């Protein structure tokens, strides 16, 4: 949520869509409650957050989701929209290995959350081989907090508190539904 809020403001976006995936293309989620539960948790998280919404586009599409397919679907639904794909610097550095990375950058600008000044240079270097990539990247500062979905799931599995790591409504829903109680590997 912090990343979404920072991108919304720093990149002057009209809105940010959180998009829970149906099936991640590169990793299996252990103790996964399923896409419907993840969509509901996202809805609880964005409640009252101006400019941040939940999209079910990927959750409703069965099978593995790839960014390029999602961007094409968003573009086809409303060709007049200018799209920005928001990613952390680590994800952005890996973009050249994604499915159709040049098409990703043709369909959307890349909004990169950076945490350290040198990360900007790392991203530029990693993307330099993609034609026109450097003109399609905008950076924004991201306050340093080491919270990830993997960390939250691991803490739940270990019986440790997650308050202040996720919105209160999300923590309550996870507890009430017994989500993520199976052992997961912290990443």
Cβ within 8 Å of residue 167, ≥6 positions away: 1, 44, 45, 47
Query: Residue ranges of the alpha helices (H) in 34-148?
Result: 35-46, 57-60, 67-77, 89-93, 101-107, 117-127
Domain boundaries, the chain: 2-177
What number is the average pLDDT over the span 156-168? 92
> Whole-angstrom Cα distance, residue 187 to residue 174?
19
Flag whether pLDDT at 186 surpasses 70: no
Q: Per residue, what are the HEC states of 64-83?
A: ECCHHHHHHHHHHHCCCCCE
Q: Which pLDDT belongs to residue 29?
A: 65
Q: Which pLDDT belongs to residue 125?
A: 96
- Reduced 3-state DSSP string for 9-34: HHCCCCCEEECCCCECCCCCCCCCCC
* Residue 149 clears pLDDT 90, i.e. is over it: no
Rounded Cα gap, residues 56 and 124, in angstroms? 31
**pLDDT greater than 90 at residue 39:** yes
Per-residue pLDDT tens digits for 1-33: 999 999 999 999 999 999 999 887 766 766 788
Fold of 2-177: Rossmann fold (3.40.50)
24 half-sphere exposure, CB direction, 13 A CA radius: 9
pLDDT for the residue numbered 7: 97
What pLDDT, in 10s, does the model give residues 72-107? 999 999 999 999 999 999 899 999 999 999 999 999
The dihedral of CA 119, 127, 82, 77: what is its sign?
A: negative
**pLDDT over 60 at 184, yes or no:** no
Higher pLDDT, 70 or 148: 70
Helix, strand or coil for residue 97?
Answer: helix
pTM of structure: 0.81
């Amino acid at each position: 949520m912090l990343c979404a809020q920072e991108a919304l403001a720093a990149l002057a976006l009209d809105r940010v869509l959180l998009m829970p995936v149906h099936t991640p293309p590169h990793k299996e989620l252990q103790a996964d409650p399923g896409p419907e539960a993840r969509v509901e948790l996202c809805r609880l998280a964005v409640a009252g957050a101006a400019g941040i919404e939940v999209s079910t586009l990927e959750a409703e599409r069965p099978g593995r989701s790839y960014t390029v397919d999602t961007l094409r679907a968003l573009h086809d639904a409303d060709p007049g929209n200018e799209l920005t794909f928001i990613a952390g610097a680590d994800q952005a550095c890996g973009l050249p290995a994604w499915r159709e990375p040049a098409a990703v950058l043709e369909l959307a600008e890349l909004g990169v959350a950076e945490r350290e000044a040198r990360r900007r240079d790392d991203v530029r270097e990693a993307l330099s081989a993609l034609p026109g990539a450097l003109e399609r990247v905008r950076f924004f500062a991201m306050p340093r907090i080491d919270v990830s979905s993997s960390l939250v799931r691991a803490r739940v599995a270990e019986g440790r508190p997650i308050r202040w790591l996720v919105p209160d409504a999300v923590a309550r829903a996870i507890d009430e539904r017994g989500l993520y109680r199976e052992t997961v590997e912290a990443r």
